[in-house]
Amino acid sequence: MTLGRINKLETFGSVDGPGIRFVVFTQGCPMRCKFCHNPETWDFGTKSANGTANGSFEISAEDLLKKALRYKPYWGTDGGITVSGGEPLAQIDFMIEFFEAAKSAGVHTCVDTCGVTFRPTGEPFAKIERLMKSTDLLLVDIKHIDADAHKELTGHGNENIIEFFRYLDRIQKPIWIRHVLVPGISDNDEALTRTRDFIRTLHNVKRVEVLPYHAFALSKYKELKIDYALKDTQSPTAERVANANEILETAKYTGWKE
Ligand code: SF4
């Protein structure tokens, strides 16, 4: 049995997958996205950047599923469980146990991942193959289509993330793609057009969402004493959001349930 380290639970999530969902936020993420809303989930241990407790706790897959199933009557036909983060696939052994148990209980399973832990060979690949058997839907970000700009924005290149997209396409696993629109970083027509051209090569995309950048998490960064790199960045205008939706052809995908 593998224990999962969890930062928090949300019992009535409505934005992380279809329908009403029980959302699990795992603790620990290898990325450092400049716009991250959840910097308290970065550390893999029990302490946050300022040395205080991050509130995370350990739990078995069985106990977590028991908690989730209390809310099953609210899920209707569309809802279920989403695991977000942090980076859920950094705890893949726990994820396999949790999703296999959830599928046995007839629950719709969704994982919100940045894809950075993907490896195309060996034991890590065998584990992802196994996890995909009990995963119904993935929410995956394209944080930046350009590898160098991706590294500047998140601390990691995007090469294995692109490989992850290709793998999910090969196995025809349904995905929703999300793109955070950051003025001066990802909000330019050249990058958006390259992103669209990449999305067009995939055959498993059910939805594409543009998420306008905003600085709602600024107070968390102050509290954690982490420098907030985007402090001078404004949210994109409505016109730029509309422009991104048009270039990324989001209307072509929106409306697909899963
Ligand atoms: S991958 Fe997600 S949790 Fe990790 S730093 Fe980026 S936005 Fe935050």
Within 13 A of 75's CA, how many CA atoms are on the CB side? Answer: 21
Atom 6 (ligand 1) nearest CA: 33
- We find that the CATH architecture of domain 3-253 is Alpha-Beta Barrel (3.20)
Q: Ligand 1 pocket test: which of 43, 56, 87 has the largest number of ligand atoms within 8 Å of its C-beta? A: 87
pLDDT of residue 258: 55
Identify the bridge partners of residue 24 per DSSP, sorted by sequence position.
9, 83
Residue 30 Cα to ligand 1 middle (Å): 8
Q: Is the pLDDT of residue 256 over 80?
A: no
Residue located via tokens 């809310």: 71
CA nearest to 110, candidates 132, 90, 77: 132
Ligand 1 centre to CA of 169 (Å) is 23
Worst-scoring range by mean pLDDT, 120-134, 145-159, 186-200, 242-256?
Answer: 242-256
Residues 6+ apart with CB under 8 A from 135: 99, 109, 110, 111, 173
Q: Is the pLDDT of residue 197 over 90?
A: yes
The C-alpha angle 22, 138, 146, rounded to 5 degrees, equals 130
**257 exposed, middle or buried (CB, 10 Å; 0-12, 13-18, 19+)?**
exposed
Residue list, ligand 1 pocket, CB within 6 Å: 29, 31-33, 36, 38, 41, 85-87, 114
Distance from residue 155's CA to the centre of ligand 1 (Å)? 10
Mutate-to-test residue for ligand 1 from 114, 144, 224, 228, highest number of ligand atoms within 8 A of CB: 114
Q: Is 70 exceeded by the pLDDT of residue 255?
A: no
Residue 147 has pLDDT above 60, yes or no: yes
Phi/psi for 125 (5° steps) reads: -70, -40
Atom number of ligand 1 nearest to Cα 41: 3
Phi, psi of 194 (to 5 degrees): -65, -40
Cα distance between residue 97 and residue 77, in whole Å: 23
**Confidence label for 48 from pLDDT (cuts 50, 70 and 90):** confident
Query: Which atom of ligand 1 is nearest to 30's Cα?
Result: 4
pLDDT for 87 equals 97
Nearest alpha carbon, ligand 1 atom 8? 36
Least confident of 97-111, 119-133, 215-229, 236-250: 215-229
Would you state the pLDDT for residue 67?
Answer: 98
Domain residue ranges of the chain, discontinuous segments joined by +? 3-253
C-alpha 150/C-alpha 7 separation (Å) is 26
pLDDT reading at 131 higher than 70: yes
Q: What is the rounded average pLDDT of the residues 106-119?
A: 97
Say whether pLDDT at 50 is over 90. no
Q: What is the pLDDT of residue 51?
A: 79
The pLDDT of residue 257 is: 57
Is pLDDT at 47 greater than 90 in this prediction?
Answer: no
Q: Ligand 1 mean position to 39 CA, how many Å?
A: 8
CA of 60 to the centre of ligand 1 (A): 23
Least reliable range by pLDDT among 62-76, 104-118, 215-229: 215-229
Cα–ligand 1 centroid distance for 73 (angstroms) = 31
User: Which residue has the CA at smallest separation from atom 7 of ligand 1?
Assistant: 36
Average pLDDT over residues 139-149: 97
pLDDT tens-digit series, residues 54-108: 889 999 999 999 999 999 999 999 999 999 999 999 999 999 999 999 999 999 9
* pLDDT of residue 237 exceeding 70: yes
Residue 49 confidence (pLDDT) above 90: no
What's the gap in Å between 143 CA and the centre of ligand 1?
10
- Cα of 33 from ligand 1 centre, angstroms: 5
